[in-house]
Structure 1
Amino acid sequence: MTNSKRAVTAEDFTKLAVYSEPQFSPDGSKYAFVSTTVNDKEEYESQLFLQDLTTNMPKQWTFGCEKNSHPRFSPDGQKVVFQSNRSGVSQLWLLHTDGGEAKQITTFKNGAVNPNWSKDGKYIVFTASLDSDDDVKSQKEQSKEERQKEREEKKKQPLVVTSLRYKSDAQGFHDDKKSQIVLYDVEHETFTQLTTADAHHGYQDVSPDGATILFAGNLNEDADYELISDLYTVNIATKEITKLTNSSGTFHSASYSPSGDKIAYLGHEQTHAGATLNELYVFDVKTGERTCLSTDWDFQLGDLMIGDTRLGTSTTGPVWSKDEDKLFFVGTDFGATGLFQVNLQGELEVLYKNDNHVFGFSYDGSSESFVIGVSTPTNPCNFYLLDNSLKLTRLTNANTEFLEEVELSEPETLTYTAQDGWEIQGWLLRPYGFEEGKKYPFVLEIHGGPHAMYGQTFFHEMQLLAAKGYVVLYTNPRGSHGYGQDFVDAVRSDYGGSDYTDLMSAVDYVLENYSFIDEDRLGVTGGSYGGFMTNWIVGHTNRFKAAVTQRSISNWLSFYGVSDIGFFFTKWELGHNLLEDTTKLWEFSPLKYVENVETPLLILHGEQDYRCPIEQGEQLFVALKHLRKEVEFVRFPGASHELSRSGKPEMRIERLNHICRWFEQYL
């Protein structure tokens, strides 16, 4: 077959515009959004765009090599507040919707983020990282030179650790600063700090009457040892804090109803630890009573789709209707996400679900319509208008040049039966230039989590492997989201058990049903939990001729103490921690089975990965090399656990090239 379009390359993700954060204007006539790209300096930049719903062409609002995000319209629609790092760290800026230069409104030393307006437009509420003795009225932004000097001085000082949770993959080593909620008076240009507790405060919403702020956090004395997140309100006038939930679980994504009488929120009480499905709750502000609307549902609320080009956050709900008789949210179900609504009696309705990835939405009460963001396996992103009759109209034409230039493989959805009779969903990509009668090498991709979901979204890495001539298979073995509570919980305490046989059954199924796969040239790769499973596979079967393990787990005994989540994740997922059963943890560890490994293995790991620290890769490499196995270790400087998704572009390209090189060498 002759292709008129070229094959995908490792560098192609740098040519994409990734859309996020759609935000309706108050009158519903236009919407703002964020577009993230990789610039000529090989750095990410994010710009704000505005599109009138009567036109087909969005208008770019911000420019320069900075990250601008989180646009929020003032209630009168005349201004937009947003966050930008154009001054060096993320600060808040005001922009008139009719044009002109943006005005900087915060100069906080450690920046300011997540701005939102009060309903009357008099205040902007935001969060800032503050020390206990910081004064918000005299915050001064550092110069580039001052920031550099402070960083150099910090490197010379030892880190004194007193907290159990002293690091995180997202932020590195923590300091004593905490996220506090701050109020900005727009007219008087003054700041008021509303929270002061030695805890992180996550802004959620402001009440319609402007009297209280809703936030999430843990203000308990034993917060360092607890895996909970409660909801609280803080009274703006008195700064009095009221606790709304009872420390029974993790609660978030909270929002006031238009009248302020109710609060909707997501969360769960950890009945299945980290594998627990979210519930949708409504809290009565006057009575304090809580109602669960999702009692009879069996799917995950929110967006749990995995991809490698989804930069930027977007609202996924719950969002109140204008009459506060319904709630809207994104749900994760059978390899796709959709937009759902529910009334206060718990009656569920699908507003939009079309076997693709809805990654966010904005709701306009006046027209009762939505702007929704959609990604498909062959189209990275676009925005659509979903009107009150559920008619869908495309608003943007993102990445047109890229899509006209490259050949993308449309996945074939398949369902196969596991050894114990469970049905497992997966997808298969045929290689670029596919020809009937030819045999092709094969790569099995395994997702991380494990409580996440592969599905109908754009995935550059998958397309790249198909472009390199491989048949690509990706599946959702038990432990994945999208198939109900029993399914997502089934992997716990059984790592390397039925999840492993689910994957082997997938390979058996495609070899039996797709004659163009060369069974003598099988490869496997995965990251995080997928890296663990890659390690497990090569220690338990020699059917694969090449393997690439990424940011993996090899030894659960050491993982307990070195990972930012190890001290609880080990117990949650395996049923035991280091202090309870070392024998069991060793049995779960791929490192135990290294003598069985005959598959050439490439180990990829980020130097600054605090989720699955690089010592996991080091142990595996040393053991295999000591046994004179075929192994190679690639360490990525400065890279965290997020290397494949939001790491430095040049490191992401290097990573993809190493994967392709290894499979080309051995397959």
Structure 2
Amino acid sequence: MSRVSVDDIFKIKTVSSPAVVPGTGRVTYLVTRTDEDKDTYYSYLHNYDGRGNLQLTYKNETISNVTHSHDGTMTLFTAPDDDKKTQVFIMRHAGGEREQLTHEENGVFGAQFAHDDQSVFYHVSNDKNPDDKKEKEDKDKKPEATVITRMKYKSDGGPGPYGLLNEKFTAVKSIAIKPDEAETVLSGEENFTLYDVFADGLIYATDKSDNPDFNFAQQLYMRVNGEDKLIRDDAGFMKAEMSPDGRYILMTVMTRQFKNATHPHIEIYDVRSGESIDVTTKLDKPVGGLVAQDTQQNAAGNTAEWISDSEYVFLVSEFGSVNLYKGDVEGNIRPLLRSEHNIFGMTADAEAAYLTISTHVSPSELYKFDFGTEELTQLTEHNHNYVADTELVKPETIEFRSFDDTTVHGWFMKPAGFEAGKNYPMVTNIHGGPHALYANTFFHEMQLLASKGYAVLFINPRGSHSYSQEFVDAVRGDYGNGDYKDIMAAVDHITEKYDWIDTDNLGVTGGSYGGFMTNWIVGHTNRFKAAVTQRSISNWISFRGVSDIGYYFTDWQILAGLDNLDKLWHHSPLKYAANVETPLLILHGEEDIRCPIEQAEQLFIELKSRGKETEFVRFPESSHELSRSGKPSLKMQRLNHITRWFEQYLT
């Protein structure tokens, strides 16, 4: 049996995005693999029919947005065309080749069948001034200055250089399945999102606002027979779906009561009365999954699904797991499937839910949960050989009391091949967000560290999801205080429990918010012998103006703007650079717009100028998503640099 290695990314497959084929007892799903030669990812459509699994597509491409016609005779998906523009394709279950339905110049996204299956609705991005764009394209290729008029002008992973976004607006179009001219259904100088199509109309949202730079809500509408009715205008929506009988709308809603720390929740809207009931806030847990992970590629999220006219199933993050619940239109809810797992894909019909599930020692497989028997059955074994042939470490769950008696939850992994009587170094790994969560899910990076002979500690400090609203909100305005103390309390707890942990050889690492916390830790304690900070934040003052989210994120999270420089600087790790004695490796993507590379540059120069032990590694062609969906070759280099640094300093 082999140890986990960096190049295991080419062995691990992602089973994701299940979708029931109505009225057939079949379910489709995607299997995504990492291709070493082409340095990219490919996904393939598969089908399970109750007897076995069948691969449906073989072309090396990235398929997404898989959905099926209401009569179960056709499958729709989006994939690149010959010009590498994402278009809508149709596959007929009776046989034959796929048919390309759209030929949009800028590609499409978010497609679904009309209720009668005779046409398809889809989203496009329209340039605000298409004539100007055409003129530029007709000119010689000379550089032109970009005029910026809005604060939302760039995005991490954005299409333009430096993540710059041309001013575009999302419109909704429809096209008949028999080749026809596409018809624009919703458009304007605003972004439309189509959530559902039902017998008499549409459910859609728009972000129209007099102040778009500071608008973080949508207006949700129901269009019936051409007339629009406003349902809600003070929240964001992750899901809005009409019940089969047209009586209720199932909504996954996120208000801004606690800014981006607010729990998403389920509401049921009664079409007749116009009233909504809040179903899940009483759980005091967030709906959906917000899990930090590094191997679950091309996963389509689905928070909730109708299974009858009055009942639905939905996902809840709780205590480090993502579980399956059932609810009804009266507001009753109960858990259906709870375990130490991460359900990151869900679809359902009246008889069963089909779930893609990951655990600490299983990257992902497809399962069926039967509503009648309430039994869970595994349907696929795409990662069977990898799991069987690899020495994976199952972590133990830990809970401890932090400095203020708050209960904190997490996990601890012994080194692979652990031998009693030997001492081992330990690495503490900190997640990003901060409003994400570590979970009962497969994490290649953790397994790799364990395979290299390190104990691995990873917890959900205050600010993490899957616990109470109070817990997730507790970090805002308090970065580097309670969260830092939670992490140090975890180190105390586990080193007191296990005397074989070599407390003279402790490492720490983390990315994004976890990178901020790594920077903060080395500026406030010399307890760690080596540290690796990734895509981090070091200076909240400059972050405010350079990040694509900075101008509101600092207000929401640090609770300060440039009128309170003292607070921004107090929470900036750069302020404490003189205190750093821990050798620090700085990793950053050159195209990271979320936490721009200038954050790393400032930290490196300040540490280097003070004679500190540090190195700076810059990754080309890499956004904030490097560790999750970055180029496979660069993902491997990143892991090699992390393990190199720890091997150099942790004996």
TM-score bucket (shorter structure): over 0.9
* TM norm structure 1: 0.93
Paired with 1:472 and 1:154, the residues of 2 have a C-alpha distance of: 52
Structure 2 counterpart of 1:192, from 183, 186, 197: 183
Query: In the alignment, is the contact (CA less than 8 A) between 1:303 and 1:316 conserved in 2?
Result: no
> Which of 339, 357, 360 is matched with 1:374 structurally?
357
Seen in structure 2, the aligned counterparts of structure 1 residues 428 and 82 have a Cα distance that, compared at 3 Å, is: same
Q: Which residue of 1 aligns with 2:76?
A: 81
Work out which of the residue numbers 282, 291, 294 in structure 2 matches 1:296: 282
Q: Which residue of 2 aligns with 1:217?
A: 206
Is residue 2:596 matched to residue 1:610?
no
Contact 2:157 2:591 in 1 (8 A): no
Residues 7, 336 of structure 1: alpha-carbon distance in 2 compared, 3 angstrom cutoff: same
Maintained 8 Å contact 2:512/2:534: yes
Alignment of 1:263-342 (within 5 A): 263-322=249-308, 324-342=309-327
CA distance in 2, matches of 1:577, 1:424: 30
CA distance in 1, matches of 2:10, 2:100: 30
Cα deviation, 1:47-87, whole Å, max 9, x if unaligned, reads 111121122xx211112221112221112222111111142
1:416 corresponds, among 400, 422, 446, to: 400
CA contact (8 A) 1:299 1:483 kept: yes
Q: Is the 8 A contact 2:79 2:88 kept in 1?
A: yes
Label 1:354 to 1:151 Cα distance change in 2 as closer, same or farther (>3 A): farther
Residue in structure 2 matched with residue 400 of structure 1 by the alignment: 384
Structure 1 residue 15 corresponds to structure 2 residue 6: no
Alpha-carbon spacing, 1:151–1:562, altered in 2? closer, same or farther (3 Å): farther
Give, in whole Å, the separation in 2 of the partners of 1:666 and 1:180.
Answer: 54
CA distance in 2, matches of 1:440, 1:321: 50
Q: 1:508 to 1:48 in 2, by over 3 A?
A: same
Contact kept in structure 2, 1:378 and 1:458, CA below 8 Å: yes
Q: Which residue of 2 aligns with 1:231?
A: 220
In 2, Cα distance between equivalents of 1:656 and 1:504: 24
The 3 A distance-change label for structure 1 pair 249 and 29 is closer
Answer with 45-54 or 550-559: which moved more.
45-54
2:58 to 59, 63, 66: 63
2:101–2:177 contact (8 Å) kept in structure 1: no
CA contact (8 A) 1:28 1:364 kept: no
2:111 maps to 1:120: no
Q: Is 2:44 aligned against 1:47?
A: yes
Amino acid at match of 1:53: G
Give the letter aligned to residue 173 of structure 1: L
Counterpart amino acid of 2:642?
A: I
Shift of 1:183: 0.8
**Alignment partner of 1:487 out of 465, 471, 489:** 471
CA distance in 1, matches of 2:391, 2:170: 45
User: What residue is the counterpart of 1:657 in the other structure?
Assistant: 640
Contact kept, 8 Å, 2:24 with 2:72, in 1: the verdict is no
CA shift, 1:155, in A, is: 7.3
Displacement, 1:131? 2.6
Q: Mark the CA change 1:102 to 1:257 in structure 2 (over 3 Å): closer, same or farther.
A: same
SS of equivalent residue, structure 2 residue 465? coil
Secondary structure, in 3 states, of the residue corresponding to 2:446?
A: helix
Identify the residue that residue 108 of structure 1 maps to in structure 2: 104
1:249 and 2:244 equivalent? no
What amino acid sits opposite 2:13 in the alignment?
A
Report the equivalent of 2:369.
386
Tell me whether 1:543 sits opposite 2:527 in the alignment: yes
Please say if residues 530 and 646 of structure 2, whose CA atoms lie closer than 8 Å, have aligned partners that are also in contact: yes
TM-score after normalising by structure 2: 0.95
Contact 1:315 1:362 in 2 (8 A): no
Is 2:167 the counterpart of 1:176?
yes
Offset at 1:20?
A: 1.1
User: For each residue in 1:12-60, what CA deviation from the matched residue of structure 2 results, as whole angstroms up to 9, or x when unmatched?
Assistant: 11222111110111114211111111123221111111121122xx211
Residue 599 of structure 1: how far off its partner (Å): 0.2
Q: Give the secondary structure class of the aligned counterpart of 2:44.
A: strand
5 Å-filtered alignment, 1:446-465, equals: 446-465=430-449
1:167 aligns with 2:154: yes
Partner-residue secondary structure (3-state), 2:97:
coil
Asked if the contact 1:528/1:551 (under 8 Å) is kept, the reply is yes
Secondary structure in structure 1 of the residue aligned to 2:3: coil
The alpha carbon displacement at 1:100 in A equals: 2.3
1:600 aligns with 2:583: yes
- 1:642 is aligned to 2:625: yes
Which of 135, 143, 148 is the equivalent residue of 1:156?
Answer: 143
Tell me, in whole angstroms, the C-alpha distance in 1 between the residues paired with 2:138 and 2:55. Answer: 35
Task: State the Cα deviation string for residues 589-622 of structure 1 (Å, max 9, x = none).
Answer: 0000000000000000000111000000000000
Distance 1:655 1:337 in 2: 28
For residue 361 of structure 1, the aligned residue among 317, 322, 346 is 346
Match of 1:140 in 2: none
Q: Residue type of the partner of 1:534?
A: T
Q: Write the mapping of 1:525-540 to structure 2, written as runs, cut at 5 A.
A: 525-540=509-524
In structure 1, runs of 5+ residues without a counterpart are 136-145
* Helix, strand or coil at the partner of 1:168: coil
Q: Alignment partner of 2:647: what SS?
A: helix
| Corresponding residue of 2:560 | 576
Shift of 1:154: 7.0
Secondary structure of 1:581's counterpart equals helix
Query: How many Å separate the matches in 1 of 2:450 and 2:72?
Result: 46
Separation of aligned partners in 1, 2:180 and 2:46: 26
**Counterpart Cα distance in 2 of 1:496 and 1:464:** 28
Q: Structure 1's 241 and 150: CA in aligned 2 closer, same or farther, altered over 3 A?
A: farther
CA distance in 2, matches of 1:221, 1:249: 16
Residue correspondences, number:
640
Change (3 A) 1:75 1:179: same
Query: 1 CA distance for matches of 2:555 and 2:529?
Result: 33
> 1:202 and 2:200 equivalent?
no
**What's the offset of the Cα at 1:520?**
0.4
The code of the aligned residue for 2:328 comes to N
Question: Helix, strand or coil: the match of 1:296?
Answer: helix
Are 1:127 and 1:181, in contact at CA under 8 Å, matched by a contact in 2? yes
Find the residue that maps to 2:582 and give its secondary structure: coil
Deviation of 1:269 after TM superposition, in Å, equals 2.6
Cα RMSD (Å) of the superposition?
Answer: 1.8
Q: CA deviation at 1:315?
A: 4.1
Distance 1:295 1:662 in 2: 44
Q: 1:509–1:24: structure 2 CA closer, same or farther, 3 Å change rule?
A: same
Counterpart of 2:236 in structure 1: which amino acid? Answer: T
Report the secondary structure of 1:327's partner residue.
Answer: strand
Q: 4+ residue stretches of structure 1 with deviation over 6 A?
A: 151-155
In 2: Cα distance, 1:157 partner to 1:82 partner: 37
Q: Which 10-residue stretch deviates more, 118-127 or 587-596?
A: 118-127
SS in 1 for 2:326: strand
The answer to whether the 8 Å contact 1:66/1:86 transfers is: no
The answer as to whether partners of 2:101 and 2:179 remain within 8 angstroms in 1 is no
Which runs of structure 2 are paired with 1:429-508 in the superposition (5 Å)?
429-508=413-492
Greater mean alpha carbon deviation, residues 598-607 or residues 83-92: 83-92
Matching residue's letter, 1:306: A
In the alignment, what sits opposite 2:501?
A: 517
- Alignment of 1:586 with 2:553, yes or no, is no
For 1:497 and 1:283, locate their aligned partners in 2 and report how far apart those are by CA, in whole Å: 41
